[in-house]
Amino acid sequence: MRAAIYVRVSTEEQFAEGYSIDAQKDILKDHCIAEDWEVVGIYEEEGYSGRTIKRPAYAKMMEEIDRWDLILVMKMDRIHRNSRNFMNMMDELYKRGKMFVSSTESLDTTTALGRFVVDMIERLAQLESEQVGERTYMGMREKAESMVNDEAGSRTLGFNPPFGYSLEDGLLSSMDDEMGVAKGIFDSYIKGSTMDDIAYGLNSIGCLTRQGNPWSKYSIRNILHNPIYAGYMRWDGVLIRHFAEAAVVPTDFNRVQSIMSSRSRNGGKANILLVPDDDFQE
């Protein structure tokens, strides 16, 4: 087996823990002798943090991956102090048929126990990632529930503005040409036109979607279903009032939802999203 020895120490770590570069090299060379591994490269890193992958010796070692069969370190935190970076490295090693060995820990992927331990580390890293996602979701929902817009400006949680709207310095605003089309779509539907009829009419006059595609009943339905055209942004079931121009008043938007539901295959039994309006009567 061809071994790449990687040693690293930062000034703070050497002072606190006493792990010198030379001490690490001596221990790892002895390990290779005991295992009958050939040392094909020693990669020394001094003064660099293990929390980043921007380290010249580490980068050189990974560039020369074809020269060696395994990486040998004294402790796992010598090569990475960030679990995500460590697992990214392990993924790359697996793809290339390479192995990883920590001399003072049970991290030797040449053995079944070592592979089991690394698998547990990967699962813990995945758990950490999912917990971060959950905290981000909860934070976004809390922000959505507490967001208050006013006539001075309508802020968003960050999204791609739909047809009829744009974002300028984080503020939602309407686009005159597209907003006129959106208003016409709601007006035509309320007057009895079908979604196919509306799409055909827009295409016949050369009016296309923002992406330059012909309109379809599905793109028309997306507009008719979106509460942003009635003055409300929606995030995970939470409605957030905005004060950019609306294409339709809440009463008419809710009326459109009822019409669409009644025309659906289940005969109006589907749950429909209505926006707040004190004057609306079912």
**What is the rounded CA–CA span in Å between residue 87 and residue 174?**
45
Q: Are 272 and 258 in contact (CB under 8 A)?
A: yes
- Half-sphere exposure at residue 77, Cβ-oriented, CA atoms within 13 angstroms: 7
Is 173 designated active site? no
- Candidates 10, 102, 103, 154; catalytic one: 10
Q: Are 28 and 73 in contact (CB under 8 A)?
A: yes
Tell which residue, 182, 191, 181, 196, has the closest CA to residue 255: 191
Residue 4 makes CB contacts below 8 A (sequence gap 6+) with 40, 41, 42, 43, 61, 64, 67, 68, 70, 71, 72
Q: Which residues pair with 193 in a beta bridge?
A: none
Q: Are 223 and 159 in contact (CB under 8 A)?
A: no
Catalytic residues: 10
